[in-house]
Amino acid sequence: MLRIAIHDGESFSKYWIDYCIEKEISYKIVNCYDNNIIQELEDCDALMFHHHQGNYKDELFAKQLLYSLEQSGKIVFPDYNTNWHFDDKIGQKYLLEVVGAPFVNSKIFYSKDEALKYLDSVRYPFVFKLRGGAGSSNVKLINNRQTAIRLIKKAFGKGYPSFDKINYFKERINKYLDGRDTLLGAIKGAARIFIPVKNAHLLKREMGYFYSQEFIPNNSSDTRIITIDNKAFAIKRFVRKNDFRASGSGNISYSKNDIDTRCLEIAFKISSQLKFQCIAYDFVFDSNNDPLILEISYGFKPEAYWGCPGFWDNNLHWYEGEFNRFGWMVDLVINQIKKGNPQNIEFCNPLEQ
């Protein structure tokens, strides 16, 4: 009987476990932070590990563990194709460019002099991003040369903390004003300016590069498409008040009529081409109303999608009604186990030869 190991950690895990219980799928709860995790997985066919960009421990080893297991013949979620570019906008830039995806024009510079020279030709405003961060954190609109120079000097100087406490405070205040958070939540946001998030100091600082994206104006929203195993669901996210960012705004339309099918077609095509198990695409539209990808991620916040009224298959057929996106992930892993892994490697001790 096949058996799935599930790391009991971030939010996907609960839903994976619930699905395994419902469908009577054999599973084992493991702790991927244990030193003997490899031994713990010996009696399992697969590992599902929802690792998070804000967890310093996950940042240290999650991708390496999953890839190592994949090399041994284990099925993993997320696998290498899905995972290596997670929370890495620089990696995503190269990947999307090399496959010819409709991607927002992006620039990356690895020297201060080259970045400063770029300012002679750049069109303002442009968008400054750090390579990591979710919910529009670490994303800024740069309106003038003076601000850009200051950011470049910092990027090649002391760098940027992964956790932006000022942005966090502003987000909590905006949520309170929009009625999506309590006064206590806003107060906690203010407190974070002086009391850092636990272990935030262990997250690496971002430095030694300057990443910019062309600003695509006149977008009052973005479109997020999530594909899982030849199926997709989607939402439209409206930008924050007096802002240009939609990710993390909490202002969402779930109507299927708000989703441009061209975004679905692009998402399905790229997911098939690059063999993604699960991926979320963020789209905006250019001056010709053509869709462009801003970034991608295997992870997403579950509660933001409970309102989706149905899903599409890769032929763009619509299926009305509730669906279990986390069950799709488990089923995908089970099907991969049954098909076998062509990368299975037989290891031996060279001293015994």
Sequence-distant (≥ 6) Cβ neighbours of residue 18 within 8 angstroms = 326
Q: Read off the pTM.
A: 0.86
**Cis peptide upstream of residue 78 (ω within 30 degrees of 0):** yes
User: Domain 4-77 is of which CATH architecture?
Assistant: 3-Layer(aba) Sandwich (3.40)
Tokens at 259, concatenated: 């989703």
Confidence at 268, pLDDT banded by 50, 70, 90: very high
Look over the chain and give the mean of its residue pLDDT values, rounded to a whole number: 88
Q: What 3-state DSSP class applies to 313?
A: strand
**pLDDT tens-place string over residues 117-138:** 999 999 999 999 999 865 455 7
Kindly give the interhelix angle for 325-339 and 12-23, rounded to the nearest 10 degrees. 70
- Cα separation of 247 and 296, whole Å? 12
**pLDDT tens-place string over residues 222-255:** 999 999 999 999 999 998 766 767 666 568 999 9
Tokens at 142, concatenated: 């740069």
Q: Is the pLDDT of residue 260 over 80?
A: yes
Amino acid letter, residue 287:
S
Q: Domain-by-domain residue ranges, the chain? A: 4-77, 90-214, 221-334
Nearest to 344 by CA among 70, 77, 38: 70
- Cα separation of 63 and 191, whole Å? 33
27-30 and 139-142 beta bridge pairing: unpaired
Asked if residue 75 lies in contact with residue 341, where contact means CB atoms within 8 angstroms, the answer is yes
Compute the half-sphere exposure of residue 146: CA atoms within 13 Å on the CB side of its CA.
0
Q: Helix, strand, coil % (nearest 5) of the chain? A: 35, 20, 45
CATH (residue range 90-214):
3.30.1490.20
**Cis peptide upstream of residue 125 (ω within 30 degrees of 0):** yes
Confidence at 348, pLDDT banded by 50, 70, 90: very low
Q: Which segments within 194-301 are labelled E, that is strand?
A: 210-214, 221-228, 231-238, 252-253, 278-285, 291-297
Q: What single DSSP character describes residue 287?
A: T
**For domain 221-334, which CATH number applies: 3.30.470.20, 3.30.70.20, 3.40.228.10, 3.10.20.600?**
3.30.470.20
Nearest to 330 by CA among 25, 72, 123: 25
Tokens at 231, concatenated: 């199926």
For residues 60-64, give the mean pLDDT: 96
